[in-house]
Structure 1
Amino acid sequence: MKAGTQALASGTKALKANSKAMASGSKALKGNANTLSASAKAVSAGAKAVSAGLEAAGLAPAPTRARRAPLEPGFTKGVVISPLGTRSYRLYKPPGLAPGERVPLLVMLHGCLQTAESFARSTRMNRVAAREGFIVLYPEQARVAHQQRCWNWYDTRSGAAQREADVLLAAIDQVCLLEPVDPTRVAIAGFSAGAGMAALFACRHPNRVAAVAMHAGVAPGLADSTASALAAMRGRYTLAPQFGGRAGAALPPLLVIQGTADHVVAPANARLAADAWAAATGATAAASREVRRGQRYPTTVTDYRKRGRVAVTLCEVEGLGHDWSGGASGTRFGDPAGPDGARMIWAFAARAFARQAASSVR
């Protein structure tokens, strides 16, 4: 009996010892787990820091985007294939078009770091098109043509600018063929790099557009390479505006919209473009006037006229940066505090269409 009691006591001590050992092991495991967790957090923080650094340096790949919302009704995708290149585009067709009706076409060229869809959202031009009844074509620059999706408006030395303008012409021809477009009522507009390309297109194909609008852009001829383009954007010029050697009288009316607080494209570019275009068409500047609409930024408007007709309108928006005037809030390159650039461009184009129609009747 005594031997059994001693054996039981020894077993109890052994169990206690094992329990302490297990407790110590458990603490050690918890310690290791905490260490691993801390290490994992440190690695994650380091990875985020490296990723942020690469992104800031422009070396990181584009982040994975959330799935895009479906295109709005009337907004479709397309592609143009020409001997000079291929480009995708988005097309907005307003509701309620009557069978057989031919409507105007407005071509909208986005800026760098934008797509056709993001440009449509920021400008809200589709809303104007739905109300006024015109079709909008949004060509999209291919990333293989420019890493930042900039139109190569400046690269006339290599011929890339001219080729892109001709690809845009192919897109316009395709849309005019497939959609109910009146080919005599076509206008082109652009923002930033798109503005430069819109002006270049109008110079290269002046008989294909009735009006052109530049929003925060540089006049054709002021650059022929990347270096000269960057200099011109900052207001330092080594070249003079050129309009492709076309007869000045053939140039369509030009609308220039520019923010006075633009730190990407120097505001001096706007007046230079307006003055040069006016000189090429024989127009002279009238007295400037200030326009205010509610709480929006005030705008100084200068018309350049020839024989009573407006050849150029310059709109200098006080306090606007490198953004689309009146653009949708929460979008890149959009400032809702400015006057509505989409409405301004359409109103300018509509007047040009009306003048053209009146001239053809005479």
Structure 2
Amino acid sequence: MNNRLDLAALIRWQNARQRATAAAGHGDEGGLEEVSGFGTNPGALRMLAHLPEGLPAGAPLVVALHGCTQSAAGYDRGCGWSAMADSLGFALLLPEQQRANNSHLCFNWFEAGDTARDAGEVLSIRQAIDHLVRTHALDPRRVFITGLSAGGAMTAAMLAAYPEVFAGGAIIAGLPHGSALGVSEALRVMARPQSLSAASRGGSVRMASGHKGPWPRVSIWHGEADHTVHPDNAEESAKQWLFLHGLADAPAAEERNGGHLRRRWTGPDGTARVELHRIAGMAHGVPLAPGEGDGRCGEAGAFLLDVGVSSTHGALAFWGLEEERAMQAASRPAPRPAPEPARAAASTFPGMFPGMLPGTSSGPASAGAMDPGATINRALKAAGLL
């Protein structure tokens, strides 16, 4: 078999495997619940959600958009979103692309029919948000959105199309809104974006909805060794949101921790409005610190990269959700210490009577060997069990 036939066979095998994986994935949602009947759903997306047990009314909502070739459940597991929802007390919505819409399972961030306000995929996501906010009495003022790659670009599209819906967003290895129209242009700007003025970038967002502000706060994350979506797209995204927030080019703060560079721009009240994270040596994917413990969550995998930095925690902190939970915990009254347990009898063997030694009793010592029954009775009375 020649090389051309080998390649064709490999492509057929990969496509068959992708179809089988996708079909199997619909049966294993990793604990997520599918949401149906949430609206007209013109973008024909699947909607999956995680609602922590006992979630109170007025809880925040986080929307997470997977990247190409990924599923909602896999993205959730990799980023640790459900675990963080349980820990911090927020609802989680995970839209999922279908292969009938895009053969690579990418959100169609480069199609006008899917990114224009009240049309296509962005309207499907908007309807799902409305459904969850209404049916679970969530706080409409605390809705946040994030996504990777095509999901990051669709995050930018959602922030542009519906800025009044979101308090904040996080764009991970994505592109600025309005950067491409059609597949050819999308591939071109992924390889190297055009350097445009901040006014031009910001104008694309202004035209998307006619919104006058206030604007969502935006966190931007990108690996400096990303060969799929050029890192300069992060700079163009920063321009877009700095213009909308009326902020100067120079950041208010710049910090470097090893290969992790963070720049922050703050508003007049001192609150960070835009931040940009650049991670040296990181390829295309979500920055993660997998595992358990402070600042850790998720699992490494394809486009889910263990670089020792958790963008999941970083986004939540930027939005104020981690701080809010800590303040709630601090405001609760301290638990009263439990009363010291009474001394109870379990047997007459050494070490099983707390505070009593074998051969002793709670009453006067007898001249001879003690009656074990009497010892047990005295201990039970002392413990309030008789």
Match of 1:61 in 2: 16
Match of 2:246 in 1: 282
Query: How far has the Cα of 1:343 moved from its partner?
Result: 0.8
Mapping of residues 141-180 of structure 1, within 5 Å:
141-156=97-112, 159-162=113-116, 163=119, 164-180=121-137
1 CA distance for matches of 2:188 and 2:69? 20
1 CA distance for matches of 2:283 and 2:253? 21
| 1:310-342 C-alpha deviation (Å, 9 max, x unpaired) | 221111112211111106445221112241111
2 CA distance for matches of 1:347 and 1:97? 20
Q: Are the aligned partners of 2:55 and 2:90 in contact in 1 as well (CA < 8 Å)? A: no
2 CA distance for matches of 1:161 and 1:178? 26
- Output the aligned Cα RMSD: 2.9
Match of 2:279 in 1: 317
Q: Give the secondary structure class of the aligned counterpart of 2:93.
A: strand
Match of 1:299 in 2: 260
Q: Give the secondary structure class of the aligned counterpart of 1:303.
A: strand
2 CA distance for matches of 1:289 and 1:236? 24
Match of 1:360 in 2: none
**2:17 partner amino acid:** A
2 CA distance for matches of 1:58 and 1:155? 29
Match of 2:45 in 1: 87
After superposition, the Cα gap between the structure-2 partners of 1:320 and 1:288, relative to the gap in structure 1 and judged at 3 Å, is farther
Q: Are the aligned partners of 1:228 and 1:237 in contact in 2 as well (CA < 8 Å)? A: no
Query: Whose strand fraction is larger, Structure 1's or Structure 2's?
Result: 1
TM-score by length of 2: 0.70
Match of 1:217 in 2: 174
Q: Give the secondary structure class of the aligned counterpart of 1:269.
A: helix
**2:273 partner amino acid:** A
1:333 aligns with 2:303: yes
What are the ranges of 5 or more consecutive residues in structure 2 without an aligned counterpart?
291-297, 325-386
Match of 1:97 in 2: 55
After superposition, the Cα gap between the structure-2 partners of 1:222 and 1:67, relative to the gap in structure 1 and judged at 3 Å, is closer
1 CA distance for matches of 2:39 and 2:9? 36
**2:230 partner amino acid:** A
After superposition, the Cα gap between the structure-2 partners of 1:58 and 1:70, relative to the gap in structure 1 and judged at 3 Å, is closer
Q: Give the secondary structure class of the aligned counterpart of 1:304.
A: strand
| 1:214-256 C-alpha deviation (Å, 9 max, x unpaired) | 0000001111111111111111429753104234633211100
After superposition, the Cα gap between the structure-2 partners of 1:353 and 1:51, relative to the gap in structure 1 and judged at 3 Å, is farther
Query: How far has the Cα of 1:346 moved from its partner?
Result: 1.2
Runs of 4+ in 1 over 3 A off after TM superposition: 49-60, 63-73, 246-249, 327-330, 351-354
1:255 aligns with 2:219: yes
Q: Are the aligned partners of 1:203 and 1:251 in contact in 2 as well (CA < 8 Å)? A: no
2 CA distance for matches of 1:230 and 1:72? 32
Query: How far has the Cα of 1:131 moved from its partner?
Result: 0.8
Work out the percentage of aligned pairs sharing the same amino acid: 26
Question: Larger Cα Rg: Structure 1 or Structure 2?
Answer: 1
Mapping of residues 117-196 of structure 1, within 5 Å:
117-156=73-112, 159-162=113-116, 163=119, 164-196=121-153
TM-score by length of 1: 0.75
After superposition, the Cα gap between the structure-2 partners of 1:338 and 1:229, relative to the gap in structure 1 and judged at 3 Å, is farther
**2:244 partner amino acid:** A
1 CA distance for matches of 2:212 and 2:273? 11
Q: Are the aligned partners of 1:188 and 1:213 in contact in 2 as well (CA < 8 Å)? A: yes
1 CA distance for matches of 2:180 and 2:195? 8
What are the ranges of 5 or more consecutive residues in structure 1 without an aligned counterpart?
1-45, 355-362
Q: Are the aligned partners of 2:52 and 2:89 in contact in 1 as well (CA < 8 Å)? A: yes
Q: Give the secondary structure class of the aligned counterpart of 1:314.
A: strand
After superposition, the Cα gap between the structure-2 partners of 1:264 and 1:191, relative to the gap in structure 1 and judged at 3 Å, is same
Query: Whose helix fraction is larger, Structure 1's or Structure 2's?
Result: 1
Q: Are the aligned partners of 1:81 and 1:87 in contact in 2 as well (CA < 8 Å)? A: no
Match of 1:264 in 2: 228
| 1:245-303 C-alpha deviation (Å, 9 max, x unpaired) | 234633211100111111101111101111221012201232553343xxxx6311111
Q: How many residues align?
A: 300
